[in-house]
């Protein structure tokens, strides 16, 4: 199934799918929940990563829903969100084990087409979470509406800087849909509604906080009138926070808007270094993915897209029970 406008990629890579023939079916260096050998239905989830708190929260939701539904859930992900080849090996391993269904979060939307076609030919239902693959193997997507979330970040950035001035973006990917759509949602909203705000630079740190910090410091040096910086995921946002701290800038001199949650961002908001951030509902994503996978394995009808929501949080509402429920540390 091709995904519609909400989940379409802003740019589709022209490269052919990465060949994965001969990939090892041995264990990964990521992590996995217990499963298999129990006689229960097994759902295999392969995420974009394992190190960020976001993915740990997705895993928690998936494990909880698996226990509720009486199915075994395995959860694998590469150490870093740049490890496309390793993620493909994990996907191939999952396919080779013929689970009842597969849940997949694509790092590269083209590289996964060939292996997921194998899954389709083996009649293994595939559902996506966080980011889809191109091709027509997937039946459903459970994710944040990333363009909507990016626009929400832009609205708050604009209000915080007085609707004028220079801002820049430290993105985490220009390949997978979350990076593309969180960027484009922000950019499109600024261009449409805030003519006095200029986006002076967009660079990508692969979600790595060290690389993102170096990018942010270079942006600050190149644009002395910079008023705001937007980081499109946990690692990007923390890289910006680290950059302003390393440069010894006064809190609030540059307005920082982040994305995702995690202890470091929560602390940065509480101490005034970061103005606020967009959080998702990763536990809800994990639960919804397992629900969809089980339904697909049973041949039941499922929706093409489940928007699991996005929320602005800052010092004023961080302790609100509704916000606290979607924060993860």
The CATH number of residue 126's host domain is 3.40.50.2300
Q: Are 43 and 65 in contact (CB under 8 A)?
A: no
Any domain includes 11: no
Q: Are 313 and 323 in contact (CB under 8 A)?
A: yes
Q: Is the dihedral of CA 308, 309, 310, 315 positive or negative?
A: negative
Q: Are residues 100 and 160 in the same domain?
A: no
Q: Are residues 53 and 164 in the same domain?
A: no
Q: Are 237 and 275 in contact (CB under 8 A)?
A: no
Q: Are residues 302 and 269 in the same domain?
A: no
pLDDT greater at residue 16 or residue 88: 88
pTM of the shown model: 0.81
Q: Are residues 185 and 255 in the same domain?
A: yes
What is the C-alpha separation between 279 and 242, in angstroms, rounded? 20
**Does residue 283 sit in helix, strand or coil?**
helix
60 pLDDT exceeds 90?
yes
Query: Which of the four pLDDT bands, split at 50, 70 and 90, describes residue 16?
Result: very low
Identify the CA nearest to 179 among candidates 155, 202, 213, 152: 202
Q: Are residues 156 and 219 in the same domain?
A: yes
How would you class 14 by CB atoms within 10 Å of its CB: exposed for 0-12, middle for 13-18, buried for 19 or more?
exposed
Any domain includes 130: yes
**Does residue 71 sit in helix, strand or coil?**
coil
Any domain includes 317: no
Q: Encode pLDDT of 235-280 as tens digits.
A: 999 999 999 999 999 999 999 999 999 999 999 999 999 999 999 9
The pLDDT score that the predictor gives to residue 38 is 64
Domain limits for position 154? 146-279
Q: How many domains does the chain have?
A: 2
Query: Which of the four pLDDT bands, split at 50, 70 and 90, describes residue 53?
Result: confident
9 pLDDT exceeds 90?
no
Q: Are 237 and 211 in contact (CB under 8 A)?
A: no
Segment among 22-31, 154-163, 210-219, 277-286 with least mean pLDDT: 22-31
The pLDDT score that the predictor gives to residue 222 is 98
What is the C-alpha separation between 195 and 20, in angstroms, rounded? 47
What is the C-alpha separation between 176 and 107, in angstroms, rounded? 5
Q: How much is the average pLDDT of 176-197? A: 97
What is the C-alpha separation between 28 and 216, in angstroms, rounded? 33
Any domain includes 322: no
Q: Are residues 265 and 210 in the same domain?
A: yes
Q: Encode pLDDT of 70-110 as tens digits.
A: 999 999 999 999 999 999 999 999 999 999 999 999 999 99
Q: How much is the average pLDDT of 47-54? A: 88
**Does residue 229 sit in helix, strand or coil?**
strand
33 pLDDT exceeds 50?
no
Q: Are residues 261 and 186 in the same domain?
A: yes
The pLDDT score that the predictor gives to residue 43 is 98
Beta-bridge partners for 258: 277
Query: Which of the four pLDDT bands, split at 50, 70 and 90, describes residue 113?
Result: very high
- Mean pLDDT of the chain, nearest integer: 90
The pLDDT score that the predictor gives to residue 1 is 57
Query: Which of the four pLDDT bands, split at 50, 70 and 90, describes residue 166?
Result: very high
What is the C-alpha separation between 168 and 16, in angstroms, rounded? 32
Q: Are residues 273 and 289 in the same domain?
A: no
132 pLDDT exceeds 90?
yes
Work out the number of other CB atoms within 10 angstroms of the CB of residue 251: 14
Q: Are residues 111 and 182 in the same domain?
A: no
């Amino acid at each position: 199934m091709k995904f519609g406008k909400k989940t379409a990629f802003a740019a589709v890579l022209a490269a052919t799918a990465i060949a994965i023939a001969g990939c090892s079916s041995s264990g990964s260096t990521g992590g996995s929940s217990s499963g298999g050998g129990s006689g229960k239905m097994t759902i295999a989830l392969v995420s974009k990563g394992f190190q960020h708190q976001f993915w740990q929260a997705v895993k928690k939701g998936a494990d909880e829903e698996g226990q509720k539904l009486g199915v075994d859930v395995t959860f694998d992900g590469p150490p870093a969100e740049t490890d496309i080849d390793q993620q493909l090996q994990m996907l191939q391993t999952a396919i080779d084990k013929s689970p009842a269904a597969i849940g997949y979060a694509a790092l590269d939307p083209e590289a996964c087409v060939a292996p997921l076609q194998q899954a389709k030919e083996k009649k293994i239902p595939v559902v996506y979470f966080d980011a889809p693959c191109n091709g027509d193997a997937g039946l459903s997507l459970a994710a944040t509406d990333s363009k909507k979330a990016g626009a929400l970040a832009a609205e708050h950035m604009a209000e915080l800087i007085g609707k004028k001035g220079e801002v820049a973006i430290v993105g985490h990917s220009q390949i997978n849909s979350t990076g593309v759509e969180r960027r484009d949602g922000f950019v499109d909203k600024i261009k449409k509604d805030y003519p006095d705000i200029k986006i002076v630079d967009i660079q990508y740190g692969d979600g790595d906080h060290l690389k993102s910090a170096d990018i942010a410091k270079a942006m600050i040096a190149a644009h002395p009138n910079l008023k705001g910086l937007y980081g499109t995921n946990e690692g990007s946002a923390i890289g910006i926070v680290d950059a302003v701290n390393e440069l010894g800038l006064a809190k609030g001199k540059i307005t920082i808007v982040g994305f995702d949650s995690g202890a470091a961002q929560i602390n940065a908001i509480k101490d005034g270094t970061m103005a606020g951030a967009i959080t998702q509902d990763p536990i809800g994503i994990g639960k919804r993915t397992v629900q969809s996978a089980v339904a697909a394995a049973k041949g039941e009808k499922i929706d093409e897209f489940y928007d699991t929501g996005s929320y602005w949080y800052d010092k004023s509402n961080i302790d609100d029970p509704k916000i606290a429920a979607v924060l993860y540390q």
